[in-house]
């Protein structure tokens, strides 16, 4: 009986660990996506500023 309880606890711990790991991967993917979008936004703003400096009459 004690052996079966120990196996159940071990299985529960393994499942919790896998769930936590999947959550960490998902958060890492979201952070990476946000970083890419933020960088693209900054580049677009920089490009607009450069165009205003180079071609001031067009703005």
Written as tens digits, the pLDDT of the chain (59 aa) is 788 888 888 988 888 888 777 777 777 787 778 877 888 888 898 999 888 888 888 65
pLDDT at 9: 87
Q: What angle do CA 31, 14, 25 make, to 5 degrees?
A: 10
Is 13 inside any structural domain?
no
pLDDT at 32: 79
Residue 54 domain boundaries:
35-59
CB distance 39 to 46 below 8 Å: no
pLDDT at 58: 64
pTM > 0.85? no
Is 54 inside any structural domain?
yes
pLDDT at 34: 82
Is 55 inside any structural domain?
yes
State the DSSP H helix or E strand holding residue 40, giving kind and residue range, or none if neither: helix 2-54
Q: How many domains does the chain have?
A: 1
Is 44 inside any structural domain?
yes
């Amino acid at each position: 009986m004690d052996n079966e309880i120990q196996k159940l606890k071990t299985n529960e711990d393994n499942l919790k660990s896998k769930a936590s790991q999947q959550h960490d991967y998902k958060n890492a993917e979201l952070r990476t996506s946000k970083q890419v979008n933020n960088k693209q936004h900054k580049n677009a703003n920089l490009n607009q500023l450069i165009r205003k400096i180079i071609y001031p009459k067009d703005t």
